[in-house]
């Protein structure tokens, strides 16, 4: 019975773990991130047909999550001559989930020509999903040089109520690669 309990516990932990993938996280050569004290965000300049409804609300969620991670590491947000400027890049792609047909599970052979019965394997679309990536650049405001960058990528939830949770989890995973640890 104990083995079954531990097996279920392990399976639930794996199921609850975040699928956020982190890439390209790191500081620029010679960058000393401890010397900076304040940060602010670049002014957002997005408009036109490509901006979806809810874009500004989602961007505010990301800014809040990033600000939370930076303040937990001792930085303070200041709009008056900040040491660091935060640049956020977003990319969302709609992707198709496919599977390959198999005569063992998909039924009988298909007729492919006169007196020639054969099976043709093919990719079949079974669903669509959106995958998003967020790239965060920390830029030295005085020198206008990037001092740290990182990218987080994950499948976006279909429910709007899950987006703030994903933003926090994604930024937490991304800033786990940040060279300055959170202060307790």
Each domain of the chain, given as residue ranges in start order, spans 19-95+129-175
pLDDT band at 137; cut points 50, 70, 90: very high
Decide: 174 and 22 in contact? Cβ < 8 Å: yes
Among candidate residues 76, 32, 39, the one with its CA nearest the CA of residue 180: 32
Q: Could you tell me what percent of the chain has a pLDDT over 90? A: 47
88-104 average pLDDT score = 83
Between CA 158 and CA 59 the distance in angstroms is 17
In the predicted model, is pLDDT for residue 108 greater than 60? Answer: no
Q: What's the confidence (pLDDT) of residue 75? A: 96
* pLDDT tens, position by position, 27-83: 999 999 999 999 999 987 766 666 677 778 888 999 999 999 999 999 999 999 999
Return the CATH class of domain 19-95+129-175: alpha beta
């Amino acid at each position: 019975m104990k083995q079954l309990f531990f097996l279920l516990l392990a399976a639930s932990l794996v199921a609850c773990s975040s699928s956020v993938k982190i890439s390209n996280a790191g500081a620029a050569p010679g960058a000393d991130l401890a010397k900076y004290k304040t940060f602010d965000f670049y002014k957002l300049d997005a408009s036109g047909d490509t901006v979806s409804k809810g874009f500004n609300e989602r961007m505010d969620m990301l800014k809040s999550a990033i600000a939370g991670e930076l303040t937990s590491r001792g930085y303070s947000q200041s709009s008056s001559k900040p040491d660091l400027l935060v640049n956020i890049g977003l990319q969302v792609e709609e992707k198709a989930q496919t599977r390959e047909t198999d005569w063992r599970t998909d039924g009988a052979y298909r007729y492919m020509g006169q007196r020639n019965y054969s099976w043709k394997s093919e990719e079949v679309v079974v669903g669509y999903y959106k995958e998003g990536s967020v790239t965060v650049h920390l830029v030295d405001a005085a020198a206008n040089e990037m001092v740290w960058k990182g990218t987080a990528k994950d499948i976006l939830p279909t429910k709007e109520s899950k987006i703030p949770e994903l933003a926090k989890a994604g930024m937490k995973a991304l800033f786990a690669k940040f060279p300055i640890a959170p202060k307790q």
